[in-house]
Structure 1
C-alpha cells in the first residue's frame, strides 16, 4: 500500500523498515562504526557515489536510516538527515547554505539557544543574523539582499508560544528564491506540516515531543520535494552548482538526489561529525510510535491548564494559542491539526522576578527542568535559565519578561496538575 494512503500513526510504526529482510519485528540497533565491502571496487564506487550504501556510521547507519525515512514521511518531505542534537541540526541547516559574508533572516521569537547560535556563534563564522518581527512581516523584504541565504523561524515558538504565519513567510522566501527553514519542534510533525504550507526545510529537536522520554538528544533536517529546482543555477547557492574540491569535483546539482540534505551528509557530517548514534536513533523511534497519542494528551492538558491560569487572580497574562482570547488563535486553527497547540504554556506572574522564581520552587509534580516535551510536567523560569545568556535589552525585545514562567504540560492527571499549581501560586 502506498504511504500517501496511510495515516501518520501507521507510518510512525511501520514506515522505512523492511522486516522481511531482517526477520525482526522491532527495528534493530546497528551498533557499528563501519561496514565491510564485498570488493575494493564496491568501496570505491560508494565513495564516489556511483553506488549508494553504508560506508561509515558518521555518515549513514541502518538504524538512523529508518528514523530518517520516518521523519521524512511524517513531515511530508523527500529526504532527511538526523543529527546529534537539535542545535546541531540548526547549525547544519544554516551553514549548509551560508558562509562568511552571507546573512540569514531570523524571527525575533525563537528559543534562546537558537538565538545564541545564530546571532553570536555564527558571527564568528562571518554569518550575519538579521532579526525580523514574527508579528509584523511588513519590513521583512527590506532586510533581504543578494547575500541573504535563508529565512528562519519557529512554527510555534519557545517560550513565547507565538504562532508564525507560515504561508506568508514561505511566500516571501519563494518570491526572492531564498530557502525558508522552519523549526517544528514544539508543534511536532503530528500537529503541523510546514512543507505543506510552502516551507523548504524543516528542523527538529527530536529530544522533545518526538521522543517524549527526556532521555535522548537528537535532531533532524528535512527537505521538501523539488528543492533541487530552487537551488539549481541559483546564484545564492553557487557552491551547489560548482565543483566541490573536497569531493572529487562533485557538482551537487548534477545528481538526481535531494541536493540539500546530500551535502549535509557527505560534507558537513563528514567534516564536523555531529552524527546521531544508533542507540539514540532507536530511542527516538520508540517515541515516534506514541507521538500521536501523547501530543493529543499534551494539548488537552495544556488547554485546561491555560484556562485555569487565565482566570487566576495572581496571573497577569497567559500565552497559549488554543485559547480563544489569544492573538494567535486564528493562526493556530489554520496551521495546527484540529487547532491543538501542543504542550507549552507560558504565563506572566503578578510579582517580581524573585516571586516568580518562588512559584517555580513551590511546585511538586512540575519538575524544574529546562527540557520540554517530556511525558512528565516541567516548569522553568526562562529569564534566569534558558534565556539567561541574552542581555536585558535582548530579553525585552523577544518578550521574555522577568516574571515569565514556562510550563511544559505533561500527560499526568489534570486534577493533580491544577492542584500543584494552585498550591504554588498560593491559592
Structure 2
C-alpha cells in the first residue's frame, strides 16, 4: 500500500487486503500450525530462503504478517518482526548484533524491567550494559568502546515521560558505527517516528497503547533498512556467511531486509518467541483507532498534569507537555503531536502518602500496565522498579515519593475529581 496516505488511513489499511479465499474484509485469524506446500520443490525453496512464504507458525503466519507490514509502514521502516512480548522484542533486537563480551550503551531512564533485563539477564549470554544519562551526550559518546554493538533508549521514557533527544543520540551512534535502538512503546508511531530521527531499529510493546485495551501481550521490532551491516566486521550474523543456510550472507542477499529476514529465519526459529495470531488480530483492531486514542490520551494528560502542578499537595510533575518541564522544548521536534499519556508526580507526604493515594482512587486502576483506555496508577519504586537499587530508581525517575500514572480516555474532569478525593484521604 502506498505510504503517501495519511496516518489515519494507514493505521486501518496498511498490510491488509480482503481475504482471497472468502472476501472477508477484516483480517482473519489464521489459527493454524503449518501450511501445505505446493510440491517438494516449493518446500525446499522456502526452507532455503529462496522463496518467501508460510512454513510453520513459529516463523510466519498470515495474520501476524499483516501486523508486521502495518507496523513497518507506520514506523517508516523496511520490515518488521513481531514476537511474544515487549521484553522479547528487546532480546530479538539485540540477538543478531551481540556476541559474548559485547555491550550495549543504555539510557538510565528506562522501564525498570528493561534495566533488570540489561543489568542481570543478558549477562547470562555474556553480554553487558553500560547505563548513562542520555542528556549528557559527552558521557554517551565516552561510554561507547570497541565492544559496543548498540545504543538503546526510550523515545518517551517509562515512568517519567522524559523525552530523549533522538537526533543527538543517533548522531553519536552513527559516528561510532553502531545502531541506535529506540523503544517507542510510550509514544507509538503516531506521536514519534524514531527512524526519522536516525534510529536503526524501533521496538514496541504491542501490549500498551498500540492495542490499547489491556487484552494482549506482544512485541515488535521494526528495521529501518538503512544501516550498513557490512561496513565493518562488528555484525557477523548479518554480514558473514551463515552456516545454517549453507553460507548465505543475510546483508548481501536481502539488503535492507537483512535484519528482518535474520530475525525470522534465525531469531524466531531458535528463540521461539512467537506472537500468537489471535493476539495479532486484537492488536490490528486496536491500531485502527490509535490516532484517535492518542489524541485523547494527550489532551487528558495535559489537563490532569496542569491540575496536579497547581495543587499544593504535589511536590513535582514530570510531564513533558507542561511548559515548566525541562524537556518541554523537545516535544515539538521529537513528538509534535503531543507528549503522550504517561508521567509521574511526587507527593509532599512521601512514600506513605503515595500508598494511601493508590489505595483510595476509584476510577484509576492499580495495575502493572500502561497505555490502556482506562487510567492506570502505580507506585513504581515498590513494583515495576522494585528490583533496582535506590540510586537506579532515582535515576530512572521512580523514587519512593513518586507515583506513575497512565492517563486514559475517560472524562478528564472525572479523573481530576478522583485524584482530588484520593489525595484528600491520603493527606488526612
Structure 2: distance between partners of 1:381 and 1:79: 37
Structure 1: distance between partners of 2:202 and 2:95: 15
SS at structure 2 position matched to 1:142: helix
**Mapped pair 1:133 → 2:115:** no
Partner of 1:320: 319
* Structure 1 segments (4+ residues) deviating >3 Å: none
Partner of 1:246: 244
Partner of 2:272: 273
Structure 2: distance between partners of 1:58 and 1:367: 35
Structure 2: distance between partners of 1:48 and 1:4: 31
Structure 2: distance between partners of 1:225 and 1:126: 27
**In 1, are the aligned partners of 2:19 and 2:27 still within 8 Å (CA)?**
no
Which stretch of structure 1 is more off in the superposition, 299-308 or 14-23? 14-23
**Mapped pair 1:376 → 2:374:** yes
Structure 1 spans left out of the alignment, 5+ residues: none
**Residue 305 (structure 1) shift:** 0.3
CA deviation string 1:293-341 (max 9, x = no partner): 0000000001100000000111000010110010110101211133x11
Question: Are the structure 2 counterparts of residues 20 and 116 from structure 1 closer, same or farther at C-alpha, using a change threshold of 3 Å?
Answer: closer
Partner of 1:295: 294
**Residue 20 (structure 1) shift:** 6.3
1:76-225 to 2 correspondences below 5 Å: 76-225=76-225
Structure 1: distance between partners of 2:82 and 2:383: 27
Structure 1: distance between partners of 2:271 and 2:396: 31
Partner of 1:409: 407
**In 1, are the aligned partners of 2:17 and 2:25 still within 8 Å (CA)?**
no
Report the count of equivalent residues.
423
CA deviation string 1:163-195 (max 9, x = no partner): 100000001111111011000000111010000
TM-score (norm 2): 0.97
**In 2, are the aligned partners of 1:253 and 1:259 still within 8 Å (CA)?**
yes
**In 2, are the aligned partners of 1:190 and 1:337 still within 8 Å (CA)?**
no
Structure 1: distance between partners of 2:312 and 2:324: 17
Structure 2: distance between partners of 1:307 and 1:226: 40
Paired residue for 1:386, among 361, 384, 395? 384
Structure 2: distance between partners of 1:144 and 1:401: 28
SS at structure 2 position matched to 1:421: helix
Structure 2: distance between partners of 1:234 and 1:59: 29
Structure 2: distance between partners of 1:225 and 1:272: 22
Structure 1: distance between partners of 2:92 and 2:119: 15
Structure 2: distance between partners of 1:297 and 1:233: 44
**Mapped pair 1:59 → 2:62:** no
Structure 2: distance between partners of 1:18 and 1:367: 37
**Residue 50 (structure 1) shift:** 1.1
Structure 2 spans left out of the alignment, 5+ residues: none
